[in-house]
Amino acid sequence: MNITIIGTGFVGVVSAAVYASLGHQVIGLDIDPKKIESLKKSQVPFFEPNLENLLKEQQQKKRLDFTTDYQQAITSADIIIIAVGTPSAPDGQADLTYVFAASKALATYLKENAIVVIKSTVPPGTLEKAEEIIKPLTEVNFYLASLPEFLREGRAVEDTLGPDRIVIGATDDFVFETLERLHQPFDCPIIKVSPPSAQMAKYAANAYLATRITFINQIADLCQKNGADIQELIQAIGLDNRIGDHYWYPGFGYGGSCFPKDVKELAAYSRAIGESNNLLNKISDLNEERIPKLLTAFGDKIGGWDNKTVAILGLSFKPNTDDMREAPSIKVVEYLKAFDVKIKGFDPKAIEVAKNFLPQTDKLSLHQTIDEATTDADVIIALIEWPEIVSFDFSHVKTTKQQWFIDGRNQFSPQIISKWGYSYLGIGR
Ligand code: NAD
């Protein structure tokens, strides 16, 4: 099949490379010429494990090309997948400007019976609006579908090649059959539903995961006060089949390009359709408050943040990515810079990107190694569980002065960290 992916950001590049690897002829289209220029040279403008190799391989096989030209990209496409950004608007609702701009730009070049698929995360009602934009601009028959994306950054290639499920939202048998055929090689359940169900499935999945994180953080806060250990609790509740022991991450709250915005968008959507008193508003608020609340409590334990040198280890929003969108490190630096502190940041991959995201302050320096970042640190915050950080031997950077070790994701053994001479501070333990 001829497939065009509109928007060669994170989701678009991964999808383009993976669909090409299934033997399809794929074009990636973006309005950003710089991005297209580097993708043409097989350079991925962000870090994602295994992506660059897959991209290079597919380009060498001549199955994958990139362009900024809508006419070239759309004219022969059987399937057009819109994967542009859908940031939150100031009122929290999904800003669909890019989705609708792409719909308008592609309309005049559609071939007969082309399928326009919206992969971007969008609320119910979006397909209808896209149809209203496209229809007056074309003579040909075309179809619309929803195909929400569930990949996780840091494991995106793996997730896209081996998804838990594919969800197709459509109303026409031809669309279901075509998209089912496209995804058949993945050997996973293919769920065929209405477009609103597909769109809600995406928001509900992310809102549930964000709720799970917020819930365990709330329980961790109670443990902090009563001597219970949240990790012991997780073991205990995880054995309940209805709950499970997976995806419990007590810590500094959720971040990234999806959870914060998707929860806000679902909350705003709920309010817009008259469901104002909803759980989702509260989840967002609790997550927003999380970092200042934790850092205030840790500040009390270490005798205040003033005059401290603080090493922040892990700047990206999670391991194995250099994505800094809504990364916890941003709020940590924002909080700490109000004090008389020296902040030293380290990340295995995100240093360059971090420069554009972290609050500007001459109190902050960025370092290429953990050794450099932790030299003279009074406080080490292990913020993100990059393997390099979790497996690091912190005993050899310990000095004779009192040093605190904040285990931001409960990844370390309190006994070992204490044996190395640090005062250990975890989350809810
Ligand atoms: P992104 O910001 O990385 O990329 C979006 C790309 O779209 C940019 O390169 C931009 O230049 C391009 N673009 C914007 N308008 C365009 C237009 N009119 N024509 C062509 N290109 C245009 O976004 P992303 O992280 O890849 O997310 C894309 C969508 O997928 C969002 O709706 C997001 O919520 C959803 N999603 C993202 C992830 C993730 O992990 N990043 C996971 C699941 C779903």
Residue 196 CA to its chain's centroid (Å): 22
Confidence at residue 309, expressed as pLDDT on a 0 to 100 scale: 98
Q: From the alpha carbon of 98, which atom of ligand 1 is closest?
A: 15
What confidence score (pLDDT) does residue 305 get? 98
pLDDT at 26: 98
Q: What is the mean pLDDT of residues 365-384?
A: 97
pLDDT interval class at 2 (50, 70, 90): very high
Token duo for residue 10: 């994170």
Please give the C-alpha separations between residue 241 and each of 162, 227, 245, 270, in angstroms, as whole numbers: 24, 26, 9, 30
The answer to whether the 2-193 and 194-429 domains have the same CATH topology is yes
**CA 46 to ligand 1 center in whole angstroms:** 13
350-360 burial code (b ≥16 CB/10 A, e <16): bbebbeebbbe
Protein residues whose CB sits closer than 6 Å to any atom of ligand 1: 6-12, 29-32, 35, 83-86, 98, 101-102, 105, 120-121, 149, 151, 153, 257-258
Mean pLDDT of the chain: 97
Ligand 1 mean position, distance from CA 261 (Å): 13
Helix-helix angle 97-107:126-134, to 10 degrees: 30
The best mutation among 4, 10, 35, 325 to test binding of ligand 1, ranked by most ligand atoms within 8 Å of the C-beta, falls on 10
- Domain ranges in the chain are 2-193, 194-429
pLDDT tens digits, 293-321: 999 999 999 999 999 999 999 999 999 99
What span, in angstroms and rounded, lies between the C-alpha atoms of 362 and 335?
A: 14
Give the pLDDT band of residue 57 (cuts 50, 70, 90).
very high
User: 89: CA distance to ligand 1 center in Å?
Assistant: 15
Which of ligand 1's atoms lies nearest the C-alpha of 121?
Answer: 32
Distances (CA, A) of 163 to 150, 166, 167, 185, 188: 8, 7, 10, 11, 7
Q: Tell me the β-bridge partners of 331.
A: none
Rounded to whole angstroms, the Cα distance separating 368 from 370 reads 7
Task: Looking at the CA of residue 122, tell me the nearest atom of ligand 1.
Answer: 32
Beta bridge partners of 343: 310, 364
CA distance 242 to 134: 45
Work out the average pLDDT over 79-99: 96
**What is residue 143's three-state secondary structure?**
strand
d(CA 412, CA 35): 39
Q: Are strands 309-313 and 25-29 parallel, antiparallel or unpaired?
A: unpaired
Class of domain 2-193 (CATH, top level): alpha beta
The whole-number pLDDT of residue 27 equals 98
Check residue 115 and give its pLDDT. 98
Beta bridge partners of 190: 166
What pLDDT does 364 receive?
98
Q: How far apart are CA 318 and CA 129, in angstroms?
A: 35
Which residues are catalytic, by number?
258
Distance 84 CA to ligand 1 centre (A): 3
Task: Give the pLDDT band of residue 175 (cuts 50, 70, 90).
Answer: very high
Please tell me the distance between residue 41's alpha carbon and the centre of ligand 1 in angstroms.
20
215: confidence class by pLDDT, cuts 50, 70, 90: very high
Predicted confidence band of residue 142 (pLDDT cuts 50, 70, 90): very high
As a CATH number, domain 194-429 is: 3.40.50.720
Q: How far is CA 180 from CA 6, 113, 191, 328, in A?
A: 20, 16, 9, 38
Share of the chain above pLDDT 90, in %: 99
Q: Hunting for tokens 């934790």 — which residue is that?
A: 294
Confidence of residue 8 (pLDDT cuts 50, 70, 90): very high
pLDDT digits (tens, 9 = 90+) for 228-249: 999 999 999 999 999 998 999 8
When pLDDT is cut at 50, 70 and 90, the band that residue 197 belongs to is: very high
Q: Which one of 27, 74, 80, 149 would you pick to mutate in the ligand 1 pocket, going by the greatest count of ligand atoms within 8 A of its CB?
A: 149
